[in-house]
Amino acid sequence: MLSKNQIKLITSLQQKKYRKQHQLFFAEGVKVIQELLNSNFELEHIFTTADDFQNVLKNKISFISEAELKKVSALTTPNTCLALFKIPAERSVVEKGLIVALDDIRDPGNLGTIVRLCDWFGVTQLVCSMETVDVYNPKVVQATMGSITRVAVAYDDIAKFLGETKLPVFGTYMDGASIYKTQLPKEGILVMGNEANGISAEIEKLTPNRLSIPRFGDLQQTESLNVATATAIILSEFKRLG
């Protein structure tokens, strides 16, 4: 059974300030929770309606009703379980290999999908601007489908980071060189911009290598691609050519 204090704590974790205060976040669903359990993330507690986690210590599991789960779930249709995990210490960025940097990504689904894409294409480091949505937002965690355990996400002053790096920096623009005609390196930083406004003027000055994904449609009327879709295309080319 869920106590009033537990309900209050879990629901508060939908807000960033309380996640920071308690140093906790939550995940929902057997697949995501199992991925987190198999990683270095430290489990605080599992609340579940089914006996899906036989290898977890009994004092770390509470069986609850579907009605109770619905009270604390961030999903429209709750899964069978919700688990609290401790937020780990942020790891320093190592300037090696291909790194993705996000300039003010606001949509949780986009960030979660980009984390999954990094995992898929073997990008182990993701650097986010301070304005980018929190990676421990429940919707982001859900969208990563467990990839959050394999991609190190850091938040930093992107301008400072790009200004000091020795790696080549690439940005995505409508007027950039075609991604399909550009020789791409194995190491570098790929900057992806805000959903509505793209890369900010400040960051644009720090991205000397301008890339674009050409449009092939006859009408050429589509204004832009979704940022996660664009990230998938560009990472695919980096890995194919790098």
- Beta-carbon contacts of 132 under 8 Å, excluding residues fewer than 6 positions away, are 102, 103, 104, 105, 106, 111, 155
**β-strand pairing of 188-192 with 169-178:** parallel
* Identity of the amino acid at 173: Y
Neighbouring-strand partners of residue 169: 189
Q: How far apart are CA 92 and CA 90, in angstroms?
A: 7
Q: How far apart are CA 211 and CA 214, in angstroms?
A: 10
Say what the pLDDT of residue 223 is.
67
Q: Could you give the 3-state DSSP secondary structure of residue 49? A: coil
Say what the pLDDT of residue 81 is.
96
Query: How many CA atoms are closer than 13 Å to the CA of 125, on its beta-carbon side?
Result: 20
- Is the overall model pTM greater than 0.75, yes or no? yes
SS3 content of the chain, % helix, strand, coil (to 5): 35, 25, 40
Per-residue pLDDT of the chain (242 residues), as tens digits, is: 899 999 999 999 999 999 999 999 999 999 999 999 999 999 999 999 998 898 899 999 999 999 999 999 999 888 999 999 999 999 899 999 999 999 999 999 999 999 999 999 999 999 999 999 999 999 999 999 999 999 999 999 999 999 999 999 999 998 899 999 999 999 999 999 999 999 999 999 999 999 999 888 666 666 678 999 999 999 999 998 75
Say what the pLDDT of residue 218 is.
63
Note the Cα 68 to chain centre separation in Å.
28
Q: In terms of Cα–Cα distance, which of 191, 194, 151 is closest to 168?
A: 191
* Identity of the amino acid at 129: S
